[in-house]
Amino acid sequence: MQIATSLFYDRSASTLTSLSAKADSLQTQIATTKRFSAPSQDSVAYQRLAGLARDTANDKIYAANLGTADSVLTQADTSLTAIADQLQTAVGLVTQAKNGTLNAANRKAIGEQIAGIVATMTNLANAKDARGQPLFGGGDGATAVATDGSYALASKPVSGIPIGDGQSIQANETAARIFTVGGTTKSDGSIDGGTNTLAMLAAIATALQSDDFTPSALDTSLTDITAASDQLSTVQASLGARAARVDLETFRLKDVGTDREATRSGLEDTDITSAVVELQKTMTVLSATQASFSKLSALSLFDYLR
């Protein structure tokens, strides 16, 4: 069989070009540690990687939101614990005030202490959270507790913080839910009626400081404070359950992130060991092909006739 000279050179050039391209590709994979650099090289893997990248970006946002929620919940729990301590102090003071042996001056001093407790609880409620928003304020931006003496409580619930696809968590509570005993929760989450804990304590303080004080003014005071403490405990337990949920979701995101990274690596990262072996094999074949081509191209008719 005769082979045209042009066909011989074309086939040899094609083979050398193919081997060189394969070697270049392997060298690029090793240098960049990536199996491909363009979608056309593996469209299926590229689409999967795009989805993984999108999910990773979303989870970074959710992780940041979980961090914010955890910070707010921790601050809320700390504040509620401090408020609970103030209520406990109020119980001791009222118990002492109910003692009929106190003189007017001591009674009024206790009244001033309780008034101070009300001021402290108001300040704790009006603190700002890590986002610079009222810790126990309303969803409309209202201050948690009015400081004009009315002790009006923010009651519109705040929006939840997104922590996952279709998932959100309310990281705080309104002052109305914390400081209202009884009452009816309306469809919008606000509370109608009930007893305002701060107003109740302020009334006790006023009664103790009055010159017309009568012991009957404290008849239900301990019961009222106990009910306020129970309501506070209920809210704090609810926040604790949300904090536990935040922890679980944080761990879940970490686990998902680890699995996603393993999947991404399997799709995109170069197996360096295999790539190096394949490159060495390709270079060997390329060298042998170049040598064969050089030797064959140097032959002439006289070489065959000898």
Fold of 54-261: f41 fragment of flagellin, N-terminal domain (1.20.1330)
Q: Please identify which residue in the block is written with the tokens 């939101």.
A: 65
| 3-class secondary structure, 157 | coil
Residues in contact with 23: Cβ distance below 8 Å, sequence separation at least 6, in sequence order: 279, 282, 283, 286
Per-position pLDDT tens, the chain of length 306: 455 556 655 665 666 676 666 666 666 666 666 766 666 667 788 788 788 888 888 889 999 999 999 999 999 999 999 999 999 999 999 888 887 677 888 889 999 999 999 999 999 999 888 788 888 888 777 788 888 888 898 888 888 888 888 888 888 888 889 998 887 777 666 677 888 999 999 999 998 888 887 777 788 888 899 999 999 999 999 999 999 999 999 999 899 888 887 877 676 666 667 656 666 776 676 666 666 666 655 555 445 545
Question: What is the structure's pLDDT at 7?
Answer: 60
pLDDT of residue 272: 63
For the stretch 186-196, what's the b/e string if a residue is b when 16 or more beta carbons lie within 10 angstroms of its beta carbon? eeebbbeebeb
Helix-helix angle 43-97:104-125, to 10 degrees: 170
In the prediction, which pLDDT does 273 show?
A: 72
Specify the pLDDT at position 29: 60
Kindly state the helix (H) or strand (E) to which residue 253 belongs, with its residue range: helix 221-268
Show me where the domains of the chain are located: 54-261, 272-306
pTM: 0.73
Q: Are the CB atoms for 23 and 276 separated by under 8 Å?
A: no
No. of helices (H) and no. of strands (E), the chain: 8, 6
